[in-house]
């Protein structure tokens, strides 16, 4: 095969050749040229959420989860009480890391197939004034649900609670405007909808809370306040940065801007989603979610009901044709997931659907129709 596999996952993603080529140069981590790249990148990221006046952005080494953990530890005082709105696997991860850092944590559970509810949050905040912060996942890619960021933010602001948003799989594609949505922290990463490579997260912190974050974190490496203060003072990262990842993200953001920014990226991903669901429906597959709550980021499909179906064999057959699928995250139903994001378009999605059709043939399966709907 003369091309890389197409990654139909929620990250890492397929990247452009330009982004790959940007990593061929070595950079000194204290060099003025690299510091200038970091500074420009931070300004570009702020512009995506219109946060220049209200927020700062702090980059951090590591995967997106590193930055979620860093944000909770930095923003929430050690005596704080976090309420996590839970409708999927990544919400549960946020609750677990909150508890492991010694913060009091309350979990409000919802079904995997439905968005979290701002009205339910309102009831909890009214009944328990000890809650100081709310954590929500904007796009819960466990199933692919889009959660109501604007409505949740309004409830938090009305009650004077801090809001921490995991926007890992939405940032750059779904609209987020800091001028109309108040959040204390919003977290994203390089290897998602900006179509960079994995290895770097970044956290937007509301300027009004930055000073109060000093001393909250029990971690040296993941203290965002300390990272911010040092970076503002020196222009440098505190510890060795992922230089190639940073430069690749800067190149990817340049392409993002040239494409037309968030609205253009959302349009391409939406077309990918529509192309995917149409093609998979023709093969008999049924999405897990109702379209009204589905984000055009990643789609969970019910597994075929045919007893010959085996995900590992199905995965291997699709991979042999150049497409990497993703296993399901649900515990009660057998599913698999197909991403709509990355440096791909309609042609790649149509090819992916054809690869799925051939994979079914390899397994001797006539239809992707799930057992639950037979």
pLDDT 10s digits, 162-186: 999 999 999 999 999 999 999 999 9
Q: What is the pLDDT of residue 1?
A: 45
pLDDT tens string 11-32: 899 999 999 999 999 999 999 9
Q: What are phi and psi of 353, to 5 degrees?
A: -60, -40
Q: What is the pLDDT of residue 318?
A: 98
> Tokens representing 56?
């700062």
pTM of the model: 0.97
When pLDDT is cut at 50, 70 and 90, the band that residue 341 belongs to is: very high
CB–CB of 286/363 below 8 Å? no
pLDDT tens string 40-77: 999 999 999 999 999 999 999 999 999 999 999 999 99
Res. 109: pLDDT tops 50: yes
- Averaged over 73-90, what is the pLDDT? 97
Res. 331: pLDDT tops 90: no
| Residue % of the chain over a pLDDT of 70 | 99
Residues of the chain with CATH 3.90.1150.10: 6-10+261-373
Res. 257: pLDDT tops 80: yes
Query: What residues contact 253, with CB distance under 8 A and at least 6 apart?
Result: 41, 44, 45, 194, 196
| CATH hierarchy code of domain 17-258 | 3.40.640.10
Q: What is the pLDDT of residue 332?
A: 80
Q: How far apart are CA 283 and CA 39, in angstroms?
A: 48
| Residue % of the chain over a pLDDT of 90 | 96
> Which range among 48-57, 206-215, 329-338, 358-367 shows the weakest confidence by mean pLDDT?
329-338
When pLDDT is cut at 50, 70 and 90, the band that residue 3 belongs to is: confident
Second-level CATH architecture of 6-10+261-373: Alpha-Beta Complex (3.90)
Residues of the chain with CATH 3.40.640.10: 17-258
Closest CA to 197 of 253, 144, 156: 253
pLDDT tens string 303-316: 999 999 999 999 99
Res. 2: pLDDT tops 70: no
> Tokens representing 152?
């949740």
- Averaged over 266-290, what is the pLDDT? 98
The overall average pLDDT reported for the chain is: 97
When pLDDT is cut at 50, 70 and 90, the band that residue 374 belongs to is: low
Q: What is the pLDDT of residue 203?
A: 98
Q: Cα Rg for the chain, rounded, in angstroms?
A: 21
The secondary structure of the chain, three-state, reads CCCCCEECCCCCCCCCHHHHHHHHCCCCCCCHHHHHHHHHHHHHHHHHCCCCCCEEEEEEECCHHHHHHHHHHHHCCCCCEEEEEECCHHHHHHHHHHHHCCCEEEEEECCCCCCCCHHHHHHHHHHCCCCCEEEEECEECCCCEECCHHHHHHHHHHHCCEEEEECCCCCCCCCCCCCCCCCCEEEEECCCCCCCCCCEEEEEEEHHHHHHHCCCCCCCCCCHHHHHHHHHHHCCCCCCCCHHHHHHHHHHHHHHHHHCHHHHHHHHHHHHHHHHHHHHHHCCCCECCCHHHECCCEEEEECCCCCCCCHHHHHHHHHHCCEECEECCCCCCCEEEEECCCCCCHHHHHHHHHHHHHHHHHHCCCCCCCHHHC
């Amino acid at each position: 095969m003369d091309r890389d596999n197409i990654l139909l996952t929620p990250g890492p993603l397929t990247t452009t050749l330009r982004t790959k080529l940007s990593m061929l140069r070595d950079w000194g981590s204290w060099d003025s040229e690299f510091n200038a790249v970091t500074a420009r990148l931070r300004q570009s990221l702020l512009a995506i959420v219109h946060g220049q006046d209200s927020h700062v952005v702090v980059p951090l080494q590591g995967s997106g989860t590193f930055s979620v953990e860093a944000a909770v530890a930095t923003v929430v005082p050690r005596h704080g009480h976090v309420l996590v709105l839970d409708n999927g696997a990544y919400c549960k991860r946020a609750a677990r890391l909150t508890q492991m850092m010694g913060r009091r944590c309350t979990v409000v559970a919802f079904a995997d197939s439905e968005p979290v509810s701002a009205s339910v949050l309102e009831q909890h905040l009214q009944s328990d004034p000890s809650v100081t912060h709310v954590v929500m996942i904007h796009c819960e890619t466990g199933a692919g649900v889009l959660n109501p960021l604007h409505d949740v933010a309004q409830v938090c602001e009305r009650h004077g609670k801090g809001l921490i948003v995991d926007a890992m799989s939405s940032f750059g594609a779904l609209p987020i405007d800091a001028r109309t949505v108040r959040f204390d922290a919003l977290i994203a990463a390089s290897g998602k909808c900006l179509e960079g490579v994995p290895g770097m997260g970044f956290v937007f912190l509301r300027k009004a809370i930055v000073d109060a974050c000093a001393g909250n974190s029990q971690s040296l490496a993941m203290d965002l306040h300390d990272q911010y203060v040092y970076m503002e003072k020196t222009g440098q990262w505190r510890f060795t940065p992922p230089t190639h990842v940073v430069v690749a993200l800067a190149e990817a953001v340049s392409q993002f801007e040239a494409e037309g920014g968030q609205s253009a990226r959302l349009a391409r991903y939406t077309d990918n989603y529509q192309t995917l669901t149409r093609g998979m429906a023709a093969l008999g597959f049924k999405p897990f979610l109702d379209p009204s709550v589905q984000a055009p980021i990643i789609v969970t499909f019910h597994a075929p009901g045919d007893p010959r179906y085996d995900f590992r064999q199905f995965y291997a057959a699709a991979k042999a044709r150049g497409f990497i699928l993703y296993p399901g995250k649900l515990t009660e139903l057998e599913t698999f997931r197909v991403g709509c994001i990355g440096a791909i378009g309609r042609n790649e999605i149509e090819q992916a659907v054809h690869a799925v059709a051939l994979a079914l043939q390899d397994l001797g399966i006539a239809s992707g129709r799930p057992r639950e709907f037979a």
